[in-house]
Structure 1
Amino acid sequence: MDDTDLPDDVTLTETGLAAQGQGRVLLLACGALAREILALKAVNSWDHLDLRCLPAKLHLWPDRIPDAVEAAVREARAEYDRIFVVYADCGTGGALATRCKALGVEMVPGPHCYAFFDGNETFAARGDEEMRAFYLTDFLVRQFDAFVWQPMGLDRHPELRDMIFGNYERLVYLAQTRDPALVEKAREAAARLGLDFEMRFTGYGDLATAIRGAATDDQM
């Protein structure tokens, strides 16, 4: 599957061929990470990894993520030698980690995708200087209206902008790719929210490390 053709809110299964001497591994992932995972699979020739994504819009209801992940793990368990959950905590308050532990599957460490793209240690070290920052990733830049503007009601009640974002100072775009069109869209999003704009090129950050660990069965 070509990641340039991938829908932005996605439920998919992308199946590779198990490499000789390697068992089948399922990456059970958030749809918001599909492009990045497909890119990592392709550049590293990790053909023994299969990708199955849950809808990215689950992030609008984080309490639903653990149940959705558990259902998908139980459905796929018999087909795979190993399942790796490509979610961080993602607003579940530790519930997803608890569920994954009970299921005997690993997951990406960190509080959310902003942290693991930036690098969990780097993100944590920024501390208080980031308290007034609002983050976007490549996915959220592409889907700004569907995942930010509309769910927050700003399309219907633009007067809510200053109430919601009044305590923020800047929009930080954590860029996975060097795409001038996405930079411009992120800059426009910052202007719409009345925030200063900052871009940081992170690449895939700790996501690449996590997927490599899943691909090679290394302990992370």
Structure 2
Amino acid sequence: MDDAQSRKAEKAERVLIIACGMLAREVLAVKSRLASDHIDLTCLPAEYHFRPDRIAPEMDKAIARAKAEGYRNIFVGYADCGTGGMLDKIVEKHGVERMAGPHCFAFYQGLDAFERQGDADMLAFYMTDFLCRHFDSFFMKPLGLDRHPELIEDFFGNYEKLVYLAQTDDPALDRVAEDAAKLLGLAYERRFTGYGDLVPALANLPA
């Protein structure tokens, strides 16, 4: 068996998660917690958060590449994430599974808890650890709020509160979320979710 065949054979015995770049740190944290050394991770760009139309076609390519490399066990580290069911068509096409739920804000809280909060959170702007770390690069600069703060009302005027879904206890991230709520003129609520349904989803992957 040559080196290429050996690498393919090795990957055939492992699990590959193809995840949203927003989940990279969290997937690795859960992998470490579970001591799941058989799991590999690759990510699509976090910027697809703004272009959900790109998620399904890029995932299609990523899964095809992974299979060509030898992976037989592949898990999609995305919820629907605004694809309008298009990601499910790719998942079905390749015979793989994805994270359950409409988006990460749901599976971080747990789908049952998310559904119970539905009405109360109708006008909530969610943030996560990732979005706190990248608040400037994902919101302030792309929306031009750093140059034109008067646009805040246009973009966020219909929200009533900012809900920080915290994966970790990090005072620095808490401050970012609180400051963001003040900047956007929203009430502030912090919910510690941990990694939510990401933990059982990874725990149930084949060993």
Report the TM-score when normalising by structure 1.
0.86
Residue equivalent to 1:165? 156
Per the alignment, residue 96 of structure 2 pairs with: 105
SS at match of 1:214: coil
Which of 169, 185, 195 does residue 178 from structure 1 map onto?
A: 169
1:144 aligned to 2:129? no
Return the offset for 1:192: 1.2
Aligned match of 2:197 in 206, 214, 218? 206
| Counterpart pick for 1:129 among 116, 120, 140 | 120
In the aligned structure 2, how far is the partner of 1:149 from the partner of 1:122? Answer: 30
C-alpha deviation, 1:155, in angstroms = 2.3
In structure 2, what is the Cα distance between the partners aligned to 1:174 and 1:215?
29
Instruction: Give the RMSD, CA atoms, in angstroms.
Output: 1.6
Quick one: structure 1 residues 121 and 141, their matched pair in 2 at CA, closer, same or farther if it must change by over 3 Å?
A: same
**2: CA distance, partners of 1:55 / 1:49:** 20
- Give the letter for the 1:126 counterpart: Q
Larger radius of gyration: 2
Change (3 A) 1:215 1:32: farther
Amino acid at match of 2:98: M
- Identical amino acids, percent of aligned pairs: 55
Length, aligned pairs only? 197
Give the alignment's TM-score, normalised by structure 2: 0.91
SS of equivalent to 1:151: coil
1:61 to 31, 34, 51: 51
Counterpart CA distance in 2 for 1:211 and 1:189 is 32
Q: Indicate if the aligned counterparts of 1:46 and 1:215 stay in contact, CA closer than 8 A.
A: no
Larger RCO, structure (CA 8 Å, separation 6 or more): 2
1:156: how far off?
3.0
SS at match of 1:205: coil
Aligned residue for 1:199, secondary structure, equals: strand
Q: Which residue does the alignment assign to 2:75?
A: 84
Residues in 2 aligned to 1:87 and 1:134: alpha-carbon distance in whole angstroms: 20
Give the whole-Å Cα distance in 2 for the aligned partners of 1:68 and 1:108.
17
Residue segments in structure 2 that go unaligned for 5+ positions in a row: 1-9
Inter-partner Cα distance in structure 2 for 1:100 and 1:156: 41
2:37 aligned counterpart, secondary structure: coil
- Post-superposition CA distance 1:113-168 (Å, at most 9, x none): 00000111110111211111100000000001111222223223221111221111
Corresponding residue for residue 12 of structure 1:
none
Asked whether 1:156 is paired with 2:156, we answer: no
Contact in 2 for aligned 1:49/1:215 (Cα 8 Å): no
2:40 aligns to what?
50
**1:194, CA displacement in angstroms?**
0.9
What amino acid is aligned across from residue 183 of structure 2 in structure 1? R
Structure 1 residue 31, shift from structure 2 partner: 0.9
User: Residue 81 of structure 1: CA displacement?
Assistant: 2.2
Q: Distance in 2 between matches of 1:185 and 1:215?
A: 38
> 2: CA distance between counterparts of 1:110 and 1:153?
31
